[in-house]
Structure 1
Amino acid sequence: MSTTTIRLEDDLKARINAAAAQAGKTAHAFILDALAQTVEQVEQDNAFHALADERWARIRATGKTVDWDKAKTYLTARANGERPRKPAK
Protein backbone atom coordinates (compact mmCIF):
# COMPACT_ATOMS: atom_id res chain seq x y z
CA MET A 1 0.00 0.00 0.00
CA SER A 2 1.33 3.42 -0.88
CA THR A 3 0.81 6.81 0.68
CA THR A 4 -0.40 9.91 -1.12
CA THR A 5 -0.49 13.36 0.37
CA ILE A 6 -3.22 15.76 -0.61
CA ARG A 7 -3.64 19.36 0.40
CA LEU A 8 -7.15 20.43 1.35
CA GLU A 9 -8.56 23.85 1.94
CA ASP A 10 -9.54 24.26 5.58
CA ASP A 11 -13.21 24.65 4.66
CA LEU A 12 -13.24 21.42 2.64
CA LYS A 13 -11.42 19.54 5.41
CA ALA A 14 -14.04 20.73 7.92
CA ARG A 15 -16.85 19.62 5.59
CA ILE A 16 -15.20 16.22 5.13
CA ASN A 17 -14.87 15.81 8.89
CA ALA A 18 -18.53 16.73 9.42
CA ALA A 19 -19.78 14.45 6.65
CA ALA A 20 -17.58 11.59 7.85
CA ALA A 21 -18.93 11.97 11.39
CA GLN A 22 -22.49 11.92 10.07
CA ALA A 23 -21.69 8.76 8.12
CA GLY A 24 -20.09 7.18 11.18
CA LYS A 25 -16.67 6.98 9.54
CA THR A 26 -13.27 8.46 10.01
CA ALA A 27 -12.26 11.22 7.62
CA HIS A 28 -9.69 8.81 6.15
CA ALA A 29 -12.31 6.12 5.45
CA PHE A 30 -14.70 8.74 4.07
CA ILE A 31 -12.07 10.07 1.66
CA LEU A 32 -11.13 6.54 0.54
CA ASP A 33 -14.79 5.73 -0.15
CA ALA A 34 -15.25 8.96 -2.08
CA LEU A 35 -12.18 8.26 -4.21
CA ALA A 36 -13.25 4.66 -4.85
CA GLN A 37 -16.75 5.79 -5.88
CA THR A 38 -15.35 8.44 -8.20
CA VAL A 39 -12.94 6.01 -9.85
CA GLU A 40 -15.72 3.45 -10.29
CA GLN A 41 -17.98 6.08 -11.85
CA VAL A 42 -15.28 7.13 -14.33
CA GLU A 43 -14.66 3.48 -15.23
CA GLN A 44 -18.39 2.87 -15.76
CA ASP A 45 -18.70 6.02 -17.85
CA ASN A 46 -15.76 4.96 -20.01
CA ALA A 47 -17.23 1.48 -20.50
CA PHE A 48 -20.61 3.00 -21.41
CA HIS A 49 -19.04 5.34 -23.96
CA ALA A 50 -16.95 2.53 -25.44
CA LEU A 51 -20.09 0.40 -25.87
CA ALA A 52 -21.98 3.32 -27.40
CA ASP A 53 -19.12 3.97 -29.83
CA GLU A 54 -19.04 0.29 -30.78
CA ARG A 55 -22.78 0.21 -31.39
CA TRP A 56 -22.73 3.44 -33.37
CA ALA A 57 -19.93 2.08 -35.57
CA ARG A 58 -21.98 -1.08 -36.20
CA ILE A 59 -25.04 0.99 -37.15
CA ARG A 60 -22.96 3.07 -39.53
CA ALA A 61 -21.38 -0.03 -41.07
CA THR A 62 -24.57 -2.07 -41.46
CA GLY A 63 -27.32 0.53 -41.51
CA LYS A 64 -29.38 -1.82 -39.34
CA THR A 65 -31.48 -0.24 -36.62
CA VAL A 66 -34.62 -1.05 -34.69
CA ASP A 67 -37.85 0.74 -35.59
CA TRP A 68 -38.53 3.43 -32.97
CA ASP A 69 -42.11 2.31 -32.27
CA LYS A 70 -40.94 -1.27 -31.67
CA ALA A 71 -38.09 -0.07 -29.46
CA LYS A 72 -40.43 2.20 -27.48
CA THR A 73 -42.92 -0.63 -26.95
CA TYR A 74 -40.11 -2.92 -25.81
CA LEU A 75 -38.65 -0.34 -23.41
CA THR A 76 -42.07 0.53 -21.98
CA ALA A 77 -42.76 -3.14 -21.31
CA ARG A 78 -39.36 -3.54 -19.61
CA ALA A 79 -40.00 -0.46 -17.47
CA ASN A 80 -43.29 -2.04 -16.39
CA GLY A 81 -41.50 -5.19 -15.21
CA GLU A 82 -42.40 -7.32 -18.21
CA ARG A 83 -39.95 -9.52 -20.10
CA PRO A 84 -40.78 -8.93 -23.77
CA ARG A 85 -38.76 -10.28 -26.68
CA LYS A 86 -36.21 -7.89 -28.10
CA PRO A 87 -37.48 -6.25 -31.29
CA ALA A 88 -36.01 -7.51 -34.55
CA LYS A 89 -33.73 -5.29 -36.62
Structure 2
Amino acid sequence: MTPFGKDDWRLHDQERYLHGATLHPAPRRLAVPDACYDGHCEFCWEPIAGGDRLDAASEAYATHRGDRWVCSRCFEDFKSLFAWVVANAV
Protein backbone atom coordinates (compact mmCIF):
# COMPACT_ATOMS: atom_id res chain seq x y z
CA MET A 1 0.00 0.00 0.00
CA THR A 2 1.30 3.42 -0.87
CA PRO A 3 2.19 5.81 1.98
CA PHE A 4 0.68 8.65 -0.02
CA GLY A 5 -2.91 9.50 0.74
CA LYS A 6 -5.58 11.71 -0.68
CA ASP A 7 -3.99 14.72 1.04
CA ASP A 8 -0.79 14.53 -1.08
CA TRP A 9 -0.25 17.90 -2.81
CA ARG A 10 0.22 16.15 -6.18
CA LEU A 11 -3.27 14.69 -6.27
CA HIS A 12 -5.81 16.81 -8.13
CA ASP A 13 -8.60 14.54 -9.36
CA GLN A 14 -6.32 12.57 -11.73
CA GLU A 15 -8.22 9.41 -10.81
CA ARG A 16 -10.96 10.53 -13.21
CA TYR A 17 -8.71 9.83 -16.19
CA LEU A 18 -5.75 7.79 -14.89
CA HIS A 19 -7.18 5.20 -12.49
CA GLY A 20 -6.58 1.74 -13.95
CA ALA A 21 -4.81 3.19 -17.00
CA THR A 22 -2.33 1.21 -19.07
CA LEU A 23 0.95 3.12 -19.12
CA HIS A 24 3.90 2.57 -21.43
CA PRO A 25 7.49 3.04 -20.28
CA ALA A 26 8.85 5.94 -22.31
CA PRO A 27 12.59 6.47 -21.72
CA ARG A 28 13.79 9.97 -22.56
CA ARG A 29 16.15 8.57 -25.18
CA LEU A 30 13.10 7.63 -27.25
CA ALA A 31 11.80 11.19 -27.29
CA VAL A 32 12.30 13.29 -30.38
CA PRO A 33 15.94 14.47 -30.10
CA ASP A 34 15.25 18.06 -31.16
CA ALA A 35 12.16 18.51 -29.02
CA CYS A 36 12.62 20.98 -26.20
CA TYR A 37 9.37 20.04 -24.45
CA ASP A 38 7.16 16.99 -24.83
CA GLY A 39 4.89 17.43 -21.82
CA HIS A 40 4.85 17.31 -18.04
CA CYS A 41 4.07 14.86 -15.26
CA GLU A 42 0.35 14.82 -14.48
CA PHE A 43 1.18 14.87 -10.76
CA CYS A 44 4.25 16.97 -9.97
CA TRP A 45 4.47 18.90 -13.26
CA GLU A 46 8.10 17.90 -13.81
CA PRO A 47 8.92 18.55 -17.48
CA ILE A 48 9.14 15.51 -19.75
CA ALA A 49 11.39 16.50 -22.60
CA GLY A 50 13.57 15.22 -25.37
CA GLY A 51 17.01 16.48 -26.25
CA ASP A 52 19.48 17.67 -23.63
CA ARG A 53 17.16 19.56 -21.34
CA LEU A 54 18.63 19.13 -17.85
CA ASP A 55 15.50 19.89 -15.82
CA ALA A 56 13.45 17.17 -17.51
CA ALA A 57 12.63 13.70 -16.26
CA SER A 58 15.04 11.04 -17.48
CA GLU A 59 12.31 8.41 -17.64
CA ALA A 60 8.56 8.56 -17.68
CA TYR A 61 5.42 6.62 -18.43
CA ALA A 62 2.84 7.65 -20.99
CA THR A 63 -0.68 6.69 -21.94
CA HIS A 64 -1.13 4.91 -25.26
CA ARG A 65 -1.96 8.16 -27.05
CA GLY A 66 0.94 9.96 -25.37
CA ASP A 67 -1.35 12.69 -24.06
CA ARG A 68 -0.74 11.94 -20.35
CA TRP A 69 2.68 11.56 -18.75
CA VAL A 70 3.81 10.35 -15.32
CA CYS A 71 7.42 10.79 -14.18
CA SER A 72 9.13 7.73 -12.72
CA ARG A 73 9.05 9.13 -9.16
CA CYS A 74 5.30 9.76 -9.20
CA PHE A 75 4.76 6.43 -10.94
CA GLU A 76 6.48 4.63 -8.06
CA ASP A 77 4.60 6.68 -5.48
CA PHE A 78 1.12 6.17 -6.95
CA LYS A 79 1.18 2.90 -8.92
CA SER A 80 -0.72 0.98 -6.23
CA LEU A 81 -3.21 3.75 -5.50
CA PHE A 82 -4.06 4.13 -9.20
CA ALA A 83 -3.85 0.40 -10.08
CA TRP A 84 -1.82 1.06 -13.21
CA VAL A 85 -1.02 -1.64 -15.73
CA VAL A 86 2.39 -1.39 -17.40
CA ALA A 87 2.53 -2.30 -21.09
CA ASN A 88 5.60 -3.21 -23.10
CA ALA A 89 8.10 -0.46 -23.87
CA VAL A 90 7.18 1.88 -26.73
TM-score band, normalised by shorter chain: under 0.3
Task: Identify, as 1 or 2, the structure richer in strand.
Answer: 2
* TM-score (structure 2 length as normaliser): 0.19
Task: Identify, as 1 or 2, the structure richer in helix.
Answer: 1
Larger radius of gyration: 1
* TM-score (structure 1 length as normaliser): 0.19
Higher relative contact order (CA closer than 8 Å, sequence separation 6+): 2
